[in-house]
């Protein structure tokens, strides 16, 4: 697809601009669908109906919410650092948006087929921390600063178990290329790493319990990295008003909101590629290739987005000390032990 766009616009910056804008064609409709899905799921869990008036069963309500946000007055506090205050939401969105460059949506489309795809993904996503810290400091609001510092501590802490999980996957697959990770699991559901991977039965059975533990570590850490309940202390409404984005309104608040939902799909996509075959069909060569690849990738990603929504409206918020305990004394030791055992299994068998 990228080669085709460049042939249509040879030696033109317009071609590269179009390529860079391609993920937006997915992120914008995805965010609208997910907002609607979250409101409906939470409502039914609480025995109410949620959106019903705007469109059939409220299907147009997300569009109305976005239009309302875009029309709101863009307020900048007098005592804020104006330049950093304006820049912060864009830094957060850029950090999230850049991760979509290495997500393999199909066997024939990936923004950038990097050999160090997983390394790039972990590195570039840390820009989100910079933007959140920037927003908290520039707002000149103590609640915003508290939220920003909490978020930085939380995201940095939970990146450690995430990195250990991804290192374990790299040890098994022998590559950091996300397209190759999907291809290695394209033989069907039995080849997915969550079920031991495409290995002989003895090695598969030995890896199976370790991969399941690593999956649970990754799922928990991914919820913490996107500041979702029960790990939403950076924007705890009952403690910090709205956390790091308390002073934001209008378009800037909408950008924070969009970045959060885009990041939610990005971490779900990482789980899909690392454990659930990426774009691969669960039936092997049946129902695979072309549009089917996109269908399976998005379906798996939305499944984990739905799990995150479900857990958000089910579990209570953790205290700060509990949150750090889970990262450093539960997830990190489990991930480290699993990585060591996987290394032993790979050498021994």
pLDDT band at 15 (very low <50, low <70, confident <90, very high): low
- Mean of the per-residue pLDDT values of the chain: 86
Looking up tokens 């021994």 gives: 348
Q: Across 60-69, 108-117, 326-335, which has the greatest mean pLDDT?
A: 326-335
Tell me the two tokens of residue 52.
């019903």
- Interval 7-32 mean pLDDT: 77
- Interval 187-193 mean pLDDT: 88
User: Which ranges constitute the DSSP H helices of 126-200?
Assistant: 127-138, 142-173, 178-184
pLDDT above 70 covers what percent of the chain?
Answer: 94
Tell me the two tokens of residue 26.
């997915």
In angstroms, rounded to a whole number, what is the distance separating the alpha carbons of residues 178 and 61? 36
Q: In 3D, which of 239, 33, 5, 35 has the Cα closest to residue 111?
A: 5
- Interval 232-255 mean pLDDT: 77
User: Most distant CA pair in the chain: distance in Å?
Assistant: 66
- Interval 194-203 mean pLDDT: 86
Q: Is residue 193 within 8 Å of residue 275, measured between CB atoms?
A: yes
Please state the pTM of the whole predicted model.
0.90
Residue 1 in this model has a pLDDT that exceeds 60: no
Tell me the two tokens of residue 239.
């403690």
Listed by start position, the domains of the chain span: 1-71, 78-348
pLDDT band at 10 (very low <50, low <70, confident <90, very high): low
Q: In 3D, which of 256, 253, 290 has the Cα closest to residue 106?
A: 290
- The reported pLDDT for the residue numbered 65 is 85
- The answer to whether the bond into 230 is cis (omega within 30° of 0) is yes
- The reported pLDDT for the residue numbered 238 is 67
Q: What is the pLDDT of residues 287-335, one digit of tens each?
A: 887 888 999 999 999 999 999 989 888 888 888 888 889 999 999 999 9
pLDDT band at 200 (very low <50, low <70, confident <90, very high): confident
Q: What is the pLDDT of residues 138-174, one digit of tens each?
A: 888 888 888 888 888 888 889 899 999 999 999 999 8
Q: In 3D, which of 164, 214, 30, 184 has the Cα closest to residue 104?
A: 184
Measured CA distances, 235 to 40, 229, 268, 317, 328 (Å): 22, 10, 21, 11, 21
Residue 9 in this model has a pLDDT that exceeds 70: no
């Amino acid at each position: 697809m990228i080669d085709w766009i460049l042939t249509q616009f040879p030696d033109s910056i317009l071609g590269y601009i179009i390529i860079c804008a391609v993920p937006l064609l997915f992120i914008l409709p995805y965010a609208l669908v997910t907002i609607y899905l979250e409101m409906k799921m939470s409502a039914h869990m609480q025995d109410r109906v949620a959106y019903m008036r705007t469109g059939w069963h409220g299907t147009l309500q997300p569009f109305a919410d976005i239009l309302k946000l875009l029309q709101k007055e863009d307020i900048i506090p007098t005592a804020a650092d104006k330049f950093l205050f304006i820049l912060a939401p864009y830094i957060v969105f850029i950090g999230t948006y850049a991760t979509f460059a290495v997500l393999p949506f199909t066997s024939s489309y990936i923004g950038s087929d990097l050999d160090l795809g997983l390394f790039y993904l972990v590195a570039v996503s840390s820009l989100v921390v910079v933007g959140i810290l920037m927003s908290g400091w520039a707002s000149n609001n103590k609640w915003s600063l508290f939220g920003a510092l909490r978020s930085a501590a939380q995201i940095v802490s939970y990146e450690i178990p995430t990195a250990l999980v991804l290192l374990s996957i790299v040890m098994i697959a022998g590559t950091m290329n996300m397209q190759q990770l999907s291809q290695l699991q394209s033989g069907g559901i039995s080849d997915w790493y969550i079920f031991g991977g495409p290995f002989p039965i003895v090695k598969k059975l030995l890896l199976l319990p370790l991969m399941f533990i690593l999956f649970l570590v990754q799922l928990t850490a991914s919820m913490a990295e996107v500041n979702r309940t029960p790990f939403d202390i950076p924007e705890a409404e009952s403690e910090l008003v709205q956390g790091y984005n308390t002073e934001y309104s209008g378009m800037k608040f909408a950008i924070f909101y969009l970045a959060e939902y885009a990041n939610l799909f990005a971490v779900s996509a990482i789980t899909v590629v690392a454990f659930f075959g990426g774009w691969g069909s669960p039936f092997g060569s049946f129902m695979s290739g072309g549009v089917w690849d996109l269908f399976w990738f998005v379906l798996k990603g939305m499944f984990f987005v739905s799990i995150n929504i479900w857990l958000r409206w089910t579990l209570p918020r953790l205290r700060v000390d509990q949150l750090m305990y889970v990262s450093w004394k539960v997830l990190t030791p489990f991930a480290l032990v699993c990585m060591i055992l996987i290394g032993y299994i790979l050498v021994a068998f």
